[in-house]
């Protein structure tokens, strides 16, 4: 059976990295598959001790051929999870590849909007942005809001990208973007991964468009934010900028 026939008429893949997201993924997958946009879902689970993978396997029986799972041994990081998902999509016939979190901080109802922007040729990467129309974040403490907003201003200033929400993890890529950027060269693994992917797409000449979305703080599970992730992002923007200047990106 060919890869094209395996996915049928569905040309969109949603990649969702998970670690201890059993409660959320049990609700998110049925919600996504109930939308008008035909899509498949790939969960990349990092050995969740709460049984996330088991929940996904149960949903695979219900949604035959539409829910896919890659199980990894332990916490290997957000960036490597997405790169694993990108390779999975490129090995198949998916034309639109999306990133989103499992915790409902990204509204699943916005997925069709992001895909539509790319499918209709309005951009090559549609970014679900928290900062394109003021600040669209619900239930964040002021300290975290200031940190996020300042970090995005900092990243935009250093890299020169025309993107307000450089760390956005909710987006849709055209297949050609992931084919063009060298996935093997991606070095980031925390939230700076999002900055790096945006920067590489931008420097490769692709069009990035921010689409206003509302970000809601998770209600189930625990945030993955850490000091190490913040420090990585601070240094990564300089590494990307310097490598770009010397043509070794």
The CATH class, in words, for 7-245 is alpha beta
CA 3 – CA 158 distance, rounded (Å)? 41
Measured at the CA of 125, the angle between CA 123 and CA 126, to 5 degrees, comes to 85
Model confidence band, residue 227 (pLDDT cutoffs 50, 70, 90) = low
Which pLDDT does position 218 carry in this prediction?
A: 63
Q: Which residues contact 98 (CB under 8 A, 6 or more apart)?
A: 12, 13, 14, 15, 39, 111, 114, 115, 171, 172, 173
pLDDT in tens, 55-110: 999 999 999 999 999 999 989 999 999 999 999 999 999 999 999 999 999 999 99
Is residue 158 a contact partner of residue 207, using CB atoms and an 8 Å limit? no
pLDDT in tens, 178-187: 999 999 999 8
Q: Specify the length of the chain in residues.
A: 249
Q: Would you list the domain boundaries of the chain?
A: 7-245
pLDDT in tens, 102-127: 999 999 999 999 999 999 999 999 99
Is residue 205 a contact partner of residue 211, using CB atoms and an 8 Å limit? no
């Amino acid at each position: 059976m060919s890869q094209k026939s395996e996915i049928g008429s569905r040309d969109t893949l949603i990649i969702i990295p998970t670690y201890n997201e059993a409660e959320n993924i049990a609700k998110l997958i049925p919600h996504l598959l109930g939308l008008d946009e035909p899509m498949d879902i790939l969960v990349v689970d990092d050995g969740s001790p709460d049984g996330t993978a088991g929940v996904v396997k149960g949903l695979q029986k219900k949604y035959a051929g539409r829910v896919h799972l890659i199980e990894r041994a332990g916490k290997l990081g957000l960036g490597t999870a997405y790169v694993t998902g990108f390779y999975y999509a490129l090995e198949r016939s998916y034309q639109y590849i999306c990133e989103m979190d499992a915790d409902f901080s990204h509204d699943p109802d916005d997925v069709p909007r992001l895909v539509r922007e790319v499918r209709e040729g309005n951009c090559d990467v549609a970014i679900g942005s928290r900062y394109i129309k003021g600040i669209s974040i619900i239930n964040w403490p002021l300290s975290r809001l200031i940190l996020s907003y300042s970090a995005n201003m900092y990243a935009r200033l250093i890299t020169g990208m025309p993107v307000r929400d450089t760390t956005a993890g909710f987006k849709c890529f055209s297949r050609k973007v992931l084919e063009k950027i060298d996935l093997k060269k991606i070095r980031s693994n925390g939230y700076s991964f999002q900055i790096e992917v945006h920067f590489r797409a931008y420097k490769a000449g692709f069009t990035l468009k921010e689409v206003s979305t509302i970000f809601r703080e998770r209600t189930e599970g625990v945030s993955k934010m850490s000091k190490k992730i913040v420090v990585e992002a601070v240094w990564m923007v300089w590494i990307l900028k310097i490598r770009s200047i010397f043509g070794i990106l």
